[in-house]
Amino acid sequence: MLKRIVVKIGSSSLTGSQGGLNHDAIAYFARELAELYKQGCQPLLVTSGAVAAGFSAIGYAQRPKKLHEKQASAAVGQALLMRAYQEALAEYGHVAAQILLTRTDFHSRKRIGSAVMTIEELLERGILPIFNENDTVSVDELKFGDNDTLSALVANLVKADRLVILTDMDGLYSADPRQDPQAVKYTVIDEIDDDIYRMAGGAGSSVGTGGMRSKLDAARIATRGGVPVFVGRAKEAGDLQAAAEGGGKGTHFTTTLSSMSVKKQWLGYLSRPFGALIVDAGAQRALTENGRSLLPVGITSVEGQFHAGDVVEVRGPHGDIVGRGVVNYDMEDLQRVCGLPGPRVLETLNGLHRLEAIHRDEWISLR
C-alpha cells in the first residue's frame, strides 16, 4: 500500500504580506509534492490562504475583519488558489481536486462517510486532494480555526502514515528562540503533556504565526488516532520528503496507538455534544481505566437537553472532560435515576431496554 502523507500549509507560506499569492512558494510546494509521488507516496494537501489570496483582488486595502468581507474574499481567493495549484502541479503531470469542508460536515457520520469514499476514489485515480475550510459559508463559531485541526482530522480519516504541519519555525523549542538564545529545540516528543503546552504559549505568542499551541492540539488529535506528526519548516529542496520520512527541520511527535475507527473519530472529535453527565470518581475510573460502561449509579448530575441516541460529554467530579459517548436515555429519564443502583433503575423506568447510560462500544476517552 502506498504511504499516505497529509501536508498542511498555512497562509503565511503561500501569500505575500500585502495579500495575493506567492507563486514562487506554490511552485516550490508543487515540486516537493511531486517528489513525494516519485517516492511512492500518496500526498494529500490541507491548505490555507483563500482569504489572503482574495482580499486584494476584490479591492480591499488590507485583510478584512468583518465576516461577510472575509467570506467574499474567500470566494475569490479559493478560485485563485486552486488555479495556482493546478497550474503548478501540471508541470509535473499531476491533477488536483478541491474538497471544501465545514465543521458541520463532520457532525454527520453519513456526510463524512461520503467524503471518505470520494477521497479514496481520488487517491485510487492518482489525484491530489486539496482540502480547505469552506470560508465562504463558515461562521466563526463553527470554524476549525487555522486548518491545523482540519489537517489532523483529515489525517485520521484517511489513516495517514504521517501528518506534516509546516510552519515558519523549525520545530518546538523550550522558549522562543528569537528572544531566548538558550532555548532548546525538541526533535522528538513522545507525550504531549501540560509542560509541553506551557512551552508553546498562546496563539501567535510563541513560535509560529498560527501559534504553536494550535499545532499541539492538532498533534494530540492525530497521534491519538495513530498518526505520527511532524511540525516544522520546509524551505529547501528535499525538506518535505525528509519530514515525511522521519527527519527534516522540525519536531516529531510519536505515537504507539493504532489507527482510530471513523466511528470513534466522529464520536471524539467531530460530533456535537447535546449535554453533559457529571460522574463520581469511581465511575470515572471504570470508564478510563477498566473499559467499563457507564451506569446511572455513577452519575451525580445531568446538564443540557438531549435524547437517547445523542452524543454527550462526560465530566469528572471536578468538572474536567473525561470523554464522550452516545447516551441511551432521554435527559428527563436519566435525571430521575441518577445515582440509583440497577434494580432501582429498572423499578423506576418500566420498559427500559438497556441499563447502561453509555455502553463502552459507544464511548471514547479524551483524557
Beta bridge partners of 100: 132
Residues 6 or more apart whose CB falls under 8 angstroms from that of 205 comprise 211
Residue 276's DSSP bridge partners are 303, 313
Q: Which amino acid is at 267?
A: L
Is 205 known as a binding-site position?
Answer: no
Helical residues (DSSP H) of 126-280, grouped into ranges? 148-157, 194-200, 212-224, 239-244, 262-265
In the numeric block, which cell numbers belong to residue 12? 503565511
List the grid coordinates of 199.
512551552
Write down the H helix ranges in 203-360.
Answer: 212-224, 239-244, 262-265, 281-288, 331-337, 342-348
- What's the DSSP call for residue 42? E
Q: Residue 314 is which amino acid?
A: V
| Residue (of 352, 328, 329, 332) closest to 342 by Cα position | 352
Q: Is 168 annotated as a binding residue?
A: yes
Answer yes or no: is 167 a known binding residue: yes
Give the chain's radius of gyration (CA, Å).
22
Does 235 belong to an annotated binding site? no
258 is in an annotated binding site: no
What's the grid cell of residue 154? 483529515
C-alpha–C-alpha distance, residues 60 and 170, integer Å: 33
The answer to whether the annotation marks 8 as part of a ligand binding site is yes
CB proximity list for 231: less than 8 A, separation 6 or greater? 165, 167, 171, 172, 212, 215, 219, 250, 251, 253
Query: Per the annotation, does 135 bind a ligand?
Result: yes
Q: What CA–CA distance (Å, rounded) separates 153 from 156?
A: 5
Greatest Cα pair distance in the chain? 72
Alpha-carbon span 322 to 161, nearest angstrom: 28
134 marked among binding-site residues: no
210 labelled as ligand-binding? Answer: yes
Contact 151/165 with Cβ under 8 angstroms?
A: yes
Determine whether the annotation assigns residue 336 to a binding site: no
Return binding residues for ATP: 8, 167-168, 209-215
Return binding residues: 8, 48, 135, 147, 167-168, 209-215
Return binding residues for substrate: 48, 135, 147
